Amino acid sequence: MSIASLFQDAFGVEPAGTATVPGRVNLIGEHTDYNGGNVLPAAIERQVHVGFAPDAGDQFIIKSTRFDAVVQRPVGDPKRDDWTDYAVGALNKARALGWLEDGARLLIESDIPDGAGVSSSAALITAILRAVAAAIGEAPDPVEIAKQARSVENDYIGMPCGIMDQMAVGLADKGKALALDTVSLDFDVIDIPSDWAFVVLHSGIRRELSDGRYKERFEECEAARQSLRADHLCRLNAAQDAAIKTLPAEQQRRVRHVVSDHKRAIEAAIAMRNTDFDTFGDLMNDSHASYAEMFEASHPGIDALVATATRLGARGARLTGGGFGGCIVALVEADKADAWTKAVLAEHPKAWRV
């Protein structure tokens, strides 16, 4: 059933605007986006669908097909640490942009898993902004939508994320990767070679970016940046690079990770353009080791899943997303992906394919 039909069933009226946005998997370049580095995300098949209609009242009336209850939140309501916060934040942003005057009715249908590192929140916020814009006949530039969606997470949710997720869900289509410079916002959409498969497996370990550990890593990176007097931690000059050794040991590790993963993201984009399967896989493996050991954002269960993935034939595998749980992404030969997935999941019964 279409999102328009679901909206009609839920609210008894037709939606004024609808939008569909995919989730994303980050192939390489983790925690580099808010540190001024490069990233290489790709769209996944799972999507969020949103139906929207303005409402003359002073309430946001929100329903998700995942839940029975309809939630009402006052216009302008502050964050409550509730699942509807992302929707309210996006609708408040739409009001601030002049796209919405009063309240709204909103229906959400999504098969993007939460807490998995595949950008369910960025996809939802982006879809809501697009649906509201569509209702008034606007089609904003995807980069501008990404900036506004990021501000919802930064300013309303309080999550100090970079702009990678919002750019990825707004600009990458299935079968393509987005090579993004997060400082200039210059990007290149790259075709993923047809004989490559990036398989995303959920570890079964859920994590919440709001639990404090993501923010803690952000603050460690920011403290290091200020100590080094750098504009962007991923882009140090020779003197700043030499000064890394003067930082506290923990900050040194964080800097080493983001600097090296920035370089790996650039090299990985080149490898993909050149269809260099082996080099791309090596970069993924190096990235996971750095993420786990230098950034200390992995989990024993994740490390075990990555080890099984490579032992059973993946050319490269790594934790993807904000860390501390969620998904891995593995590079395998496309014609072997299904058999490989079945073998991995047989050894990890709590994991599942996204």
**Which residues are marked as active site?**
165
Cα dihedral 108, 114, 118, 119 sign = positive
Are 24 and 43 spatial neighbours (Cβ–Cβ below 8 Å)? yes
Contact 65, 56 (CB under 8 A): no
| Cα three-residue angle 210-211-215, rounded to 5 degrees | 70
Q: CB within 8 A of 246, min separation 6: which ones?
A: 227
For 335, other C-beta atoms within 10 Å of its C-beta total 9
Across the strands, what pairs with 181? 38
Nearest Cα to 64, choosing from 114, 98, 101, 130? Answer: 114
Contact assessment for residue 351 and residue 212, using Cβ atoms and an 8 Å cutoff: no
Q: Which two tokens stand for residue 175?
A: 């079968």
CB 48 within 8 A of CB 92: no
User: What Cα–Cα distance (Å) separates residue 207 from each residue in 90, 298, 322?
Assistant: 22, 11, 9
- What's the CA gap between 310 and 322, in Å, rounded? 21
Distance set, CA 3 to CA 8, 67, 70 (Å) = 9, 16, 16
CA distances from residue 237 to 82, 105, 168 in whole angstroms, order as listed:
43, 50, 28
